[in-house]
A and B are shown apart, each in its own frame.
Chain A
C-alpha cells in the first residue's frame, strides 16, 4: 500500500533522512520510534507530500505521491496532528466537515452527503454528543478524538499520526490508542510516530526504529524493542517484561532502569524532604 524506496531528505546542506525504505501494508499498524531529532517528523512530512524527498520515492499503490494531486492524496491519507487550538471557536461538526474538503469542488460548500459522512465519523468514535460543542472549549482528549473523526471523514486508506497522545492524560491516551487499534482491524493502515515503546507494544504490528535519520531496525515489536536497541536509541537501560491480560493477550512493557551513577549527584540527603522522615 505505502512504500518508501531509498528515501533521502536534506534541509539545505544537512541530510536528515538517509536511505530509508519500508512498507506499510493494508490494515497494518506501524509505529515509528526514535529519539528527538532523529527525523521522524521530517519523515512524516515527506510521506504527507508536504516535503519532497531529495532522492528516492514514496509510492502509494505503486504511484509516486509526487505526481498525485493534493486532493487525491487527501482522499487516500488522513493526517491526525497533535491537537492545537485554532484562533476561531469553530463548532466541532464544522471541524469534522473540513475533512470533506478534498471531495468538495473548489466552487462549492459541503452538501448533505458530506454532512452525513461527518456525522458517521463522529458516531464511529462515539462522540456524536460533541457535535454542537465549541471545538476550542472541549478537553484536549476530546479535541484529539475530533481530529481523528475529521481524518475519518476523509475516508482514507491510511491514517498518519504524529504523537497523537502526547498531551493527553493516561486514560485518554489509551482510549485514543484503543480507537486506533479498532480502526486498523477494520482495514485502515496506520502509521504512528510515538515516543512511548509501550504504545508500540500495545497496538503495533510492525515497528520502525530510527536513529539519526537512519533505519535502525524493522520488525515486530517483540523482535525490535529489546534492551539493546533501546540502549542504542535512547542511551538508557531498560527492562522488558510481559504481562498477561484477561483476554489472553500478553502485553509487553518497557521500564527504564537508569543507573544511579548516571544521575546528577544530589547533595541533599533524601530523608530531609518533607514527608521523607515520616517514611524513614
Chain B
C-alpha cells in the first residue's frame, strides 16, 4: 500500500488519517458553538446555500454558518498552518528544535505595530496593516544586525532577533503605560492575548495573498531545509546557496507569521509544539514534515479555538489557551516521542 503514497513517504493509514482528521475537525467546528447546529441542519443549510433557489431568504442559520463560523474556521486553519509551518522551517534552519516563529522578532514587531495603531485610535484595517508592516520591519532589523555583526550567520540572526524583540516589547510596554486606562489599555491587552472572535470575511481576503506568498516558496524549498540542518559549511559543500535559501525561508516565514498575528494577535506555542508533534508521527524529513506540520497545525488551532468558543460564557483568549494546552502537550510529546527526538 505504501507505494501509492511514495511522494509523501507515508503508510496508507497515516495518509488517510491526515486527510480525514482535518475534514472531521472542519465539519465539527461548524456544528458546535453557542448557537448549536445539529449536523443534519448544517448539511441542509450547506445544501440550500449552494444549490437552493436564489430567491430563498437567508435564514438565521445561513448567517451564522457563512458569515460568522466559516470565516473564523478558515482563519483558524490558516493561522494554525502558518505558525506551525514557519516554526518547523525555522527549527531546521537554526538547527535547533526549540525555536519558534517569533525568534526573529516578527511577533514582537507585529504586536508593537498593532498597539501603536490602537493607541492612535485607528480603524481595524489600519491596525492590521500596521501589525503586518511592523512585523516585517522587526525581522528586517534583526537581519541588518546580523549583517552588521558579521558573525556566524545563524547565531547572529538569533542574537539580532533577541535584541529586536526586546526593543519592540519595551516599545509596547511604553505604549501601554501611556494608553488610556479606561478604553485603550483593555483593548491593547485583549489584542495581545490573541483571539479569532472578530474575524470576518474581509480579514480572510486580506491575508490570503500574503499566506500564499509565504507558503508556496516554503513548500518548494522544503527538501533543502534538511541539508541546512547539517550546518552552514556542509550545506555549502553539498551545493546549497545557503544565503539564498536562508533568505527565502526567513522572508516566507515572516510574511505568514506577520499576516497571522495581524488578524488574531499573539498566539504562542503553536509554532513550537506542532512541528514536534508532526516529527513524532512522520519523522524529521522536511519533504514530508513540512506539509504534515501545516495540516496538523491547522487542525490543532481549529480545535483549540473551538474550546475557546465553548468553554465559558465569555470567550477565553486564544493565546492563553494555546499556551495552557501547549505545556502539557509538549511534555507528552517529548515523553513518548521515539522517532522525532534524540
Chain A: residues with CB nearer than 8 A to chain B? 45, 48-50, 70-71, 73-75, 77-79, 81, 86-91, 94, 98-99, 101-102, 104, 106-110, 134, 136, 154
Contacts and interface: CB of A to CB of B under 8 A. Distances in A.
A45 B232 CA distance: 12
Contact of B239 (A45, A75, A81, A134): A75
B152 interface: no
Interface string B56-84: 00000000000000000000000000000
B226 A98 contact: yes
Interface of B: 92, 95-97, 220-224, 226-227, 229-231, 233-234, 236-241, 279, 283-285, 287, 339-342
Given A79-B234, A79-B238, A88-B279, 9 more contacts: A48-B233, A48-B236, A74-B237, A79-B237, A86-B230, A89-B284, A108-B223, A109-B287, A134-B339
**DSSP majority for the B interface?**
loop
Contact of B95 (A87, A91, A108): A87
Nearest to A77: B237
B239 A89 contact: no
B285 A90 contact: yes
B276 to A, nearest CB: 11
Nearest to B232: A50
A101 B238 CA distance: 6
Contact of B339 (A45, A70, A81, A89): A89
B221 A98 contact: no
Given A50-B236, A101-B238, A87 B223 contact: no
Given A87-B97, A89-B284, A136-B342, A102 B239 contact: yes
B260 to A, nearest CB: 25
Nearest to A137: B342
27 contacts: A45-B233, A49-B237, A50-B236, A70-B240, A73-B237, A73-B239, A78-B237, A79-B234, A86-B231, A87-B95, A88-B92, A88-B229, A88-B340, A89-B284, A89-B340, A89-B342, A91-B285, A98-B226, A98-B238, A101-B238, A101-B240, A102-B239, A106-B220, A106-B224, A107-B220, A109-B222, A109-B287
A224 B237 CA distance: 31
A74 B97 contact: no
B177 to A, nearest CB: 40
A91 B342 contact: no
Contacts of B341: 89
**Which of B95, B284, B287, B342 neighbours the largest number of chain A CB atoms within 10 Å of its CB?**
B284
A200 B87 CA distance: 46
A87 B229 contact: yes
A60 to B, nearest CB: 14
Contact of B221 (A71, A73, A79, A106): A106
A159 to B, nearest CB: 11
Contacts of B229: 86-88, 90
Nearest to B284: A88
B186 to A, nearest CB: 42
